[in-house]
């Protein structure tokens, strides 16, 4: 397992000459996340976020300011997707991070050379950071699993396998989109509780799910499991993920094989990969399992992962209706809670996914499943917040919501915070609900 390495790039007193970087809510110099961007008329290529700007990695490779592993990483990242760069592993990623951090630091002698390589984020369109070959969504938020289970199965909310195995299902990679992509209200087959037969039409119980996305750096050979002690070596970094859900379709279709059309119409991710290197100061011990919970089988247990497999991360969800935006009313925060509500670690997710020899590949995306807390105000979906529509949310305009309406904009946010480190974040993960195409 990669031990979290804290070096000069994380120093809280390191500042940047880039305007707007110091004190930036998401992208101070201590972050330097990876993404793919383009300007109008230009091809997509890799970049690094710093404040309100993007370092053009293709331009940086031509500057003569890189060498060795840093040069190899930047060259591989100059393509329309970061797969080749992610496949190089942690060494080149770390080398590029250290060199870029030095070039952007206050007092850097190369400032005049680097400045022309900065692209204003306002002029850039963001793309998916990597080509996603496969997408798997897990279910590691135990409070969400219990809350949803109590709605669908009141007598047996948490199935007996949950505390033994990280549950997941194979999602649809073709419908993953970066922040800002509109959500076209899906249509589907549903059956009302008082109806004798199902019907087809626009879904009525449209929901969101607050999740983390895990980007795979290196895969494994078919038939070769990934040991739990090595699982973190295969992870490039994290993103925010909204697994939009049609709850009425889900209720009708999910038995006996689980999620299908209720989940595969759109998944939104924040476009920047916050690397595992950037997260080093925010690693923390996984919360101890409640007394009486089973010990995971050996292939899912690693002491080092238990010592630093969790994250000091606060997650938030905001809702803005069309009427709120017209009246310039700030978005309503629906929930806030820590990522420590994850029952399984990222390494356990990866190790379990490959435990049967399943081949995983660079650019694969894993969803954590909805992360909810046990208290009101910490739930990661409207299904939980409104108790399946029984307790509507009142918006500042007087409007009410049980589920999402056309025109609603849903926004996820996440910030890593811990004593002695500069806070970093993911950037925006948002989408507006558009009417169904009938």
Q: Are 276 and 235 in contact (CB under 8 A)?
A: yes
Nearest residue to 350 (alpha-carbon basis) of 224, 227, 243, 240: 227
| Active site (catalytic) residues | 144
Q: By three-state DSSP, how is residue 347 classified?
A: helix
- How many Å apart are CA 185 and CA 357, to the nearest integer? 37
Q: Are 305 and 276 in contact (CB under 8 A)?
A: no
Whole-angstrom distance between the N-terminal and C-terminal Cα of the chain? Answer: 50
- How many Å apart are CA 307 and CA 13, to the nearest integer? 27
**Helices 68-76 and 90-104, interaxial angle, to 10°?**
100
**Bridge-based pairing state of the strands 187-190 and 199-202:** antiparallel
Q: How remote is the C-alpha of 9 from its chain's centroid?
A: 23
Nearest residue to 337 (alpha-carbon basis) of 386, 370, 291, 290: 370
Q: Which residues contact 187 (CB under 8 A, 6 or more apart)?
A: 200, 201, 202, 203, 436, 438
Read off the tokens for 374.
């046990």
Q: How remote is the C-alpha of 256 from its chain's centroid?
A: 28
């Amino acid at each position: 397992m990669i031990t979290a390495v804290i070096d000069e790039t994380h120093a809280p007193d390191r500042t940047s000459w880039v305007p707007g970087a110091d004190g930036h809510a998401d992208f101070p110099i201590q972050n330097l996340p990876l993404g793919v961007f383009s300007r109008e008329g230009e091809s997509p290529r890799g970049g690094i976020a710093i404040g309100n700007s993007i370092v053009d990695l293709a331009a940086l490779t031509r500057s003569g300011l890189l060498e060795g592993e840093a040069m190899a990483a930047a060259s591989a990242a100059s393509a329309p997707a970061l797969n080749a760069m992610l496949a190089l592993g942690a060494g080149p990623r770390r080398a590029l991070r250290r060199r870029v951090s030095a070039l952007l630091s206050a007092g850097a002698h190369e400032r005049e050379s680097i400045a022309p390589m900065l692209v204003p984020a306002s002029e850039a369109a963001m793309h998916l950071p990597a080509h996603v070959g496969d997408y798997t969504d897990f279910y590691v938020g135990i409070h969400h699993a219990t809350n949803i289970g109590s709605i669908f199965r009141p007598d047996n909310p948490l199935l007996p396998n949950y505390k033994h195995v990280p549950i997941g299902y194979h999602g649809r990679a073709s419908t993953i989109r970066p922040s800002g992509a509109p959500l076209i209200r899906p249509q589907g087959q549903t059956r009302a509780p008082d109806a004798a037969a199902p019907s087809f039409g626009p879904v009525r119980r449209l929901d969101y799910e607050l999740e983390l996305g895990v980007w795979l750096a290196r895969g494994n050979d078919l038939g070769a499991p990934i040991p739990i002690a090595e699982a973190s070596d295969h992870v490039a970094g994290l993103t925010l993920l909204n697994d939009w859900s049609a709850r009425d379709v889900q209720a009708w279709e999910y038995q006996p094989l689980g999620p299908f059309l209720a989940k595969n119409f759109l998944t939104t991710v924040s476009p920047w990969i916050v690397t595992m290197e950037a997260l080093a100061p925010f690693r923390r011990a996984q919360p101890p399992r409640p007394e009486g919970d089973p010990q995971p089988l050996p292939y899912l247990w690693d002491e080092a992962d238990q010592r630093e497999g969790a994250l000091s991360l606060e997650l938030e969800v905001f809702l803005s209706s069309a009427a709120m935006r017209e009246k310039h009313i700030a978005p309503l925060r629906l929930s806030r809670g820590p990522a420590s509500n994850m029952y399984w670690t990222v390494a356990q997710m990866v190790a379990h996914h490959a435990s049967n020899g399943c081949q995983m590949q660079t650019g694969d995306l894993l969803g954590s499943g909805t992360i909810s807390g046990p208290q009101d105000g910490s739930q990661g979906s409207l299904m939980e917040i409104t108790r399946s529509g029984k307790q509507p949310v009142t918006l500042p305009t007087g409007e009410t919501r049980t589920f999402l309406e056309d025109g609603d904009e849903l926004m996820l946010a996440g910030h890593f915070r811990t004593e002695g480190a500069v806070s970093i974040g993911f950037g925006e993960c948002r989408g507006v609900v558009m009417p169904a195409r009938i």
